[in-house]
Amino acid sequence: MSQFLARGVSAAKWKGRINIQRHEVPADGVGADLRSSNNALSFWLCDPTEQRSLEDVVLVLASTRDQVQRIDLIWLSADEVAGMSIGLERTLGATPVSSLNHKHIDLTGIDLSRLFRLAGSVAEAVEGNRIRRFTEKQVLEILANAVQQDLVLAKSLKPSVIEKIQRGSILPA
Amino acid sequence: MAAEHKLETAFASVIPEEGLAAFLSVTVSDAFADSWRLFTLPERALYDRLTQASKGVEKLTLRARAWFADRPLPFDSYVRHIHESIQQEPVLDGTNHAGQSILSEAFKRESAVADRWILALIRDPSQASFAADILRLLCRFRPRSADWRRTIVETALQSPSIEMRDAAIQAVESWADRELVCVLRGHDEPDRFLSDYAAQVLRDLDEG
């Protein structure tokens, strides 16, 4: 079975399509979500047919955020990405969820033409059915469960995130 | 004009302490308040220069800080700062943004103007993307009254822009006012992705 690569995006920036046609790739989405560093972009291996697998990606993304807010995930086929001559490099993720950091993967060697193709795939994922939005409450529950199960230490989360988990009475204050 | 001239002289000074002392002598002048309006430097930039110039002169710096704390920026300056912050960095869910504190300060100091500005922005279809970013920043604190928040959400939900309606639903999710639940329940969302999102938000809020 093909592997999939997930990344958090801002769905509305891809769906907005101000002054462009439906089949065109919105620059607003690229500017918001595909800002590379070292010509690489961070993705996470996942199996989108498994709810738990998608929740794992939500957990690693939420664990590094400043605030608990909704998360939009898209996923692309690893084969499709490799077909764009983009490198797939397994690197350890830098999140407080140590048990999941091995699922991190860098897409490397992204030049403008590869970025264009990648952006096209992200746009297709958003318009198709390779996107899932987790609401603020769902993200909060995933984080709180992970803390309760010792998958992540509460003290490694940002103060406002800890506060929100505690305010939700999911964790003892 | 004398005060204005002294102020310019203060910041043209190559000796920080002297520059600061000159500035503070101006601030105690009655004429200063009037001449201040004619001065062209934005207050925030002036404040930055002042604090930079006054390093090591703690007592005077505190006095200067207190002076600035009582004086709001002109509202146009807030708008300009917010524009710049969004141009420099996109508003991403879950990530702090420089625009948050600027917006918060604008509401605190110029609430009536901020109210009108945001409502006009949301009604302006030519600024939908920027307005949606502003609304997404507003979701991060709890501005104004429940009635005002309701007006904002109702207006944003009527927008033809999917970005704006998305931000409106997020506002309901984040502010979680009971009145907003009723507004969202009455909204007929044409986009499938957003209607699914709205339905989930309503379920989340119903569950408490």
A135 touches chain B (CB under 8 A): yes
B88, B98 Cβ separation under 8 angstroms: yes
Q: Which of B147, A171, B123, B145 is nearest to B135 (CA)?
A: B123
CB atoms A32 and B196 under 8 Å: no
B88 touches chain A (CB under 8 A): no
Segment B124-135 shows an average pLDDT of: 95
B92 touches chain A (CB under 8 A): yes
pLDDT score of A168: 73
| Residue B124 structure tokens | 């302006």
Query: ipTM above 0.90?
Result: yes
CB atoms B161 and A16 under 8 Å: yes
Q: For B154-175, how does the pLDDT look when each residue is reduced to its tens digit (9 = 90+)?
A: 999 999 999 999 999 999 999 9
10 Å Cβ neighbour count for A35?
11
For an interface test with A, which of B87, B93, B126 has the most A Cβ atoms less than 10 Å from its Cβ?
B93
Q: In terms of pTM, does the model score above 0.90?
A: no
- SS3 for A7? strand
- CA dist., res. B177 & res. B174, Å (int): 9
Q: How are beta strands A71-77 and A87-90 bridged, if at all?
A: unpaired
- CA dist., res. B74 & res. B106, Å (int): 9
Residue type for position B84? E
Indicate the angle between helix axes B178-185 and B192-206, nearest 10 degrees: 140
pLDDT score of B44: 55
pLDDT score of B23: 54
B39, B4 Cβ separation under 8 angstroms: yes
For an interface test with A, which of B100, B163, B165, B191 has the most A Cβ atoms less than 10 Å from its Cβ?
B163
Does the pLDDT value for residue A170 go beyond 50? no
CB atoms B200 and A10 under 8 Å: no
CB atoms A31 and B201 under 8 Å: no
Under the banding of pLDDT at 50, 70 and 90, the label for residue B143 is confident
pLDDT score of B85: 94
- DSSP H helical segments within B40-97, as ranges? 43-53, 58-69, 75-88
pLDDT score of A160: 94
Contacts of B191 in chain A (CB under 8 A): 15
A46, A54 Cβ separation under 8 angstroms: yes
pLDDT score of A22: 82
Does the pLDDT value for residue B203 go beyond 60? yes
Does the pLDDT value for residue B70 go beyond 90? no
Contacts of B197 in chain A (CB under 8 A): 133, 135
B188 touches chain A (CB under 8 A): no
Segment B104-111 shows an average pLDDT of: 86
| Residue B193 structure tokens | 């992705």
Does the pLDDT value for residue A91 go beyond 50? yes
What's the whole-number average pLDDT of chain A? 94
- CA dist., res. A86 & res. A78, Å (int): 10
Q: For A28-85, how does the pLDDT look when each residue is reduced to its tens digit (9 = 90+)?
A: 999 999 999 999 999 999 999 999 999 999 999 999 999 999 999 999 999 999 999 9
The minimum CA-CA distance between B4 and chain A, rounded to whole Å, is 43
| Residue B90 structure tokens | 């996109």
Q: For A97-134, how does the pLDDT look when each residue is reduced to its tens digit (9 = 90+)?
A: 999 999 999 999 999 999 999 999 999 999 998 999 99
For an interface test with B, which of A7, A14, A18, A127 has the most B Cβ atoms less than 10 Å from its Cβ?
A18
- Tell me which of B135 and B208 has the higher pLDDT: B135
A72 touches chain B (CB under 8 A): yes
Q: For B7-66, how does the pLDDT look when each residue is reduced to its tens digit (9 = 90+)?
A: 555 544 433 444 445 555 555 443 343 334 334 344 555 555 555 555 544 444 455 555
B54, B20 Cβ separation under 8 angstroms: yes
